[in-house]
Amino acid sequence: MISEFQELSDKIDRLAQLTQSLRAENYLLRQANTLLSAENLAFKERLIEAQRRVEAVLDELPKPPAAPETEGEGDAVPGAAATLDGDPKEPMPLHLAHAARQEPR
């Protein structure tokens, strides 16, 4: 009976050690998560600023002369967002949309 108590005591000790190590790991993971979240926010801010600068440069580029529309090309809805594969939910990246506006038809 004493050996059963000893085994139970050993298991409780291992469980306490495991709990302590998991708490320490959890603390470190929370710290890493906080740092990565802050870094992610900084990258998002940099990306937004870069996008603003690119849009400003694109707005300064001269517009090409308007080409006469040919039959079948006038089907697009004016003001509709350009898309890569025709999916209205998936907007075309800014640089591709600008390039599409610049290409003569």
Tens of pLDDT along 51-69?
999 999 999 998 888 877 6
**Domain count within the chain:** 1
Domain range for 24 is 7-63+82-102
DSSP 8: H
* 104 and 67 Cβ atoms separated by less than 8 Å: yes
pLDDT digits (tens, 9 = 90+) for 11-50: 999 999 999 999 999 999 999 999 999 999 999 999 999 9
Torsion of the alpha carbons at 28, 31, 32 and 37, rounded to the nearest 10 = 160
Separation of alpha carbons 82 and 43, rounded Å = 26
The distance in angstroms from the start CA to the end CA of the chain is 91
74 found inside a domain:
no
Q: Across all residues in the chain, what is the average pLDDT? A: 81
- Domain assignment present for 71: no
